[in-house]
């Protein structure tokens, strides 16, 4: 294997559990190997009922361990050596059972024992695969929350027809997404170590009365992906978030807000101490001039007129009061004349970078897991990124920001 392979020299421990999706682990294993990774496989006994160990022996050219007392090397204890010599650990597919064991510290077979011996500094990725009801069971949700809080990265399941013919979430994530997650975690560096980042995410809600509000379709996924990626690259992150259904990334300080004015207040409090500010939130442009104290009653014979006032431009306000050396980036969600509108906003707001995307696209708009963006710089340069996961997009954006900071020797 040539050293030009992106994962050359990296050791990956791949744990495989008893799920019908275990056959996809062979593809994951093969692709990681083609990227240069040295893959070591540990299977549960149930996993071998779906795919035989010789398959992975042929793909990795290493012994495949199943039993707790498998010791291929006389001078090393297998579960300790595998756990502590790996650059990254991936469990795919991960059953509800192994997730519960990992969350509670149970070590009653080789894989769970290996996982308990993984150092906290080693990236640990878990790709669940199970029935929707099992995935949504309070115990499973609580266990995954526990793992996330410890810094374990959960690769979100897909939606579709499951092996049991139920329809819902629970499918193993696409192989491309899983392999890319490993590649991202092994390719990133501590280029934001010692830096403080302020990131905004999600929508804002502008109330009309105690029941109704003006909002938008933003899910917050892009901003949360940026926050998670920044933490993994060594940053201290403050995430100012509008209302979302997302779990906050581990090790991120989250400040929850509802309205644009609340978001502005939180940002102006945090911004002066931050090296980088990224405005990824979809802030409502307008708010109601007056908010009814009681629910507005429907009247089928008369129309309702609501006077709207412009909301503050949060990222422009931060840029106008920026600290010396501070890097400020914004987002431009557009549906037409994307590049023209983005370039105009870049200049008018006084930003160092603006990221534009066409939110009319079904694969890159609101509330989806992928994005296709273009980066615009004040000198007229632009760079279009391919359609990819929002996490991969976040990594690319952060790499560009890190390069710009290094180029201009910003403090």
Which active-site residues does the annotation give?
164
Identify the residue whose tokens are 């940026």: 226
Q: Count of alpha carbons within 13 Å of 353, Cβ hemisphere only?
A: 24
Residue with tokens 């495989």: 16
Q: State phi, psi for 9 to the nearest 5 degrees.
A: 85, 0
Contact 382, 356 (CB under 8 A): no
Contacts of 204 (CB under 8 A, 6+ apart): 215, 242, 257, 258, 259, 260, 262, 263, 281, 282, 283, 284, 311
C-alpha span between 393 and 399 (Å, rounded): 10
CB neighbour class for 234 (10 Å; exposed up to 12, middle 13-18, buried from 19)? middle
Contact indicator for 65, 100 with CB cutoff of 8 Å? no
Distance of alpha carbon 225 from alpha carbon 220, whole angstroms: 9
């Amino acid at each position: 294997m040539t050293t030009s392979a992106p994962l050359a020299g990296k050791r990956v421990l791949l744990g495989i559990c008893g799920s019908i999706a275990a056959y996809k682990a062979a593809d994951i294993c093969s692709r990681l190997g083609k990227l240069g990774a040295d893959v070591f496989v540990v299977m549960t006994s149930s996993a071998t009922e779906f795919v035989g160990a010789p398959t992975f022996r042929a793909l990795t050219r290493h012994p495949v361990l199943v039993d707790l007392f498998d010791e291929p090397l006389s001078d090393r204890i297998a579960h300790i050596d595998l756990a502590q010599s790996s650059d990254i650990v991936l469990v795919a597919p991960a059953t509800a059972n192994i997730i519960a064991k990992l969350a509670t510290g149970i070590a009653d077979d080789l894989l769970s024992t290996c996982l308990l011996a993984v150092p906290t500094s080693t990236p640990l990725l878990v790709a669940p695969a199970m029935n929707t009801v099992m995935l949504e069971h309070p115990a499973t949700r609580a266990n995954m929350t526990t793992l996330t809080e410890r810094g374990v990265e959960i690769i979100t399941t897909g939606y579709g027809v499951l092996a049991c013919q139920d329809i819902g979430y629970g499918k193993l994530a696409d192989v491309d997404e899983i392999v890319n997650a490993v590649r991202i975690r092994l390719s990133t560096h501590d280029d934001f170590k010692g830096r403080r980042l302020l990131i905004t995410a999600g929508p804002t809600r502008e109330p009309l009365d105690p029941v109704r509000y003006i909002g938008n379709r933003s899910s917050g996924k892009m901003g949360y992906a940026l926050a998670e990626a920044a933490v993994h690259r060594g940053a201290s992150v403050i995430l100012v978030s509008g209302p979302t259904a997302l779990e906050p990334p581990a090790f991120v300080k989250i400040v929850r807000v509802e309205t644009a004015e609340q978001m502005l207040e939180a940002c102006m409090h945090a911004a002066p101490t931050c090296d980088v500010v990224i405005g990824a939130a979809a802030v409502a442009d307008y708010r109601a001039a007056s908010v009814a104290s009681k629910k507005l009653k429907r009247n089928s014979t008369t129309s309702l007129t609501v006077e709207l006032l412009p909301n503050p431009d949060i990222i422009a306000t931060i840029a106008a009061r920026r600290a010396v050396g501070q890097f400020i980036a914004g987002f431009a969600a557009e549906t037409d004349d994307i590049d023209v509108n983005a370039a105009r906003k870049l200049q008018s707001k006084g930003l160092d970078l603006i990221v534009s995307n066409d939110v009319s696209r079904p694969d890159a708009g609101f509330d989806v897991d992928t994005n296709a963006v273009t980066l615009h710089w004040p000198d007229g340069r632009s760079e279009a990124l391919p359609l990819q996961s929002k996490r991969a997009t976040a990594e690319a954006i952060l790499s560009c920001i890190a390069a710009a900071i290094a180029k201009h020797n910003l403090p």
